[in-house]
Amino acid sequence: MLSNSYIYLPDSVMFDLEDAVSIAEKDTARLLVYNTLKAKIYGDIETVVRINGVDTPFWEADLEMAVRGGAEVIRLPKTENVNEVKELEIKIGKIEKECGREFGSTKIITAIESASGVVNAVGIAACSSRMVAIALAGFDYLVDMQTERSSGTEPELFFARATVLHAARAAKIDAFDVAYGNVNDEEGFMREVNIAKNLGFNGKSLIHPRQIELLHKAYQPTQPELDHARKVIEAAKTAEEKGLGVVSLNGKMIDPPVIQAAQRVILLADYS
């Protein structure tokens, strides 16, 4: 999987050094990821490395490898507060300088996995120019909240989803919903995808290749949506050329928020 997951055409591939790697194999996992990153077999697919948390003895060695290896993004698990991100940011900058990598080129995604993390999410999302996204991780969060996953509308995750999403939007970064662990439950996965999409998440963290196409399809605009978006952009362009402040399409006013929504539809279609 390490050396061939690009064939499934994910938007990003995340190499895990945390929970998926036993303590006895942390050293070999780092070298596997380092050599894979250096081999540049992932082309345009974004490379992310999930390091161990800052409360472990492993995270600094993980980070040293990931930044030197050229990972585009570092995912910090179990982020509880701003100080942890600040500590990570300083360490990344130091390694970038030491290895001659462009300062600021290593980005950060924080994963929120606890009540503290959710409460501090607004500050976390906005505390570093390296932050490109904030993700909610459901398993640890629900344990911390002393509850468990339900089916249906998942009320147990609603506050966390809403909070993390607002933190992301206020900081102008992306937000990613929880991973869905039962890879054989397509119906449950799609139910959760729709919840996340309707709330406004940019996507989900995935743990199996078969989930990639399902997620892409769910976020892919329908042809009528795409046709309408193109008409909106065309109408806005015409209005601008004629010096008109406002224009209407099929009797509905086309204003900046409508244009932004249309641009997003076209962007999603390009990526789907």
Partner 1 sequence: MNLIQKGIAGTLESSDILVIVNPQAGGGVQLSIQSKVEKQFGATIRRVIVEKLEALGVTDVVVDVKDQGALDCVIAARVQAAVYRAAGVDKVNYEVLS
Residue ranges that bind partner 1, judged by CB under 8 A = 2-4, 27-28, 30-32, 34-36, 38-39, 41, 61, 64-65, 68-69, 99
The least distance separating partner 1 from the CB of residue 73, rounded to whole angstroms, comes to 19
The least distance separating partner 1 from the CB of residue 38, rounded to whole angstroms, comes to 7
CB-based contact 27:9 (threshold 8 Å): no
Return the number of the residue (69 or 117) whose C-beta is nearest partner 1.
Answer: 69
The least distance separating partner 1 from the CB of residue 4, rounded to whole angstroms, comes to 7
Return the number of the residue (101 or 231) whose C-beta is nearest partner 1.
Answer: 101
Give 96's contacts (C-beta < 8 A, 6+ positions apart).
67, 102, 103, 104, 105, 106
Structure tokens at 61: 């060695």
The least distance separating partner 1 from the CB of residue 43, rounded to whole angstroms, comes to 14
Return the number of the residue (14 or 67) whose C-beta is nearest partner 1.
Answer: 67
Distance CA 111, CA 57 (A): 19
The least distance separating partner 1 from the CB of residue 208, rounded to whole angstroms, comes to 18
Buried b or exposed e, range 67-88, using 16+ CB within 10 angstroms:
bbbbbbbbbbbbbbebebbeeb
The least distance separating partner 1 from the CB of residue 207, rounded to whole angstroms, comes to 19
Torsion of CA 13, 17, 20, 24, to 10 degrees: 150
Return the number of the residue (24 or 253) whose C-beta is nearest partner 1.
Answer: 24
From the centroid of its chain, how far is CA 17? 17
Distance CA 160, CA 137 (A): 10
User: Can you point out the beta strands (E) in 71-155?
Assistant: 73-76, 107-112, 131-136
- H or E segment at 226? helix 223-241
The least distance separating partner 1 from the CB of residue 174, rounded to whole angstroms, comes to 29
Structure tokens at 214: 């399902």
Distance CA 76, CA 58 (A): 12
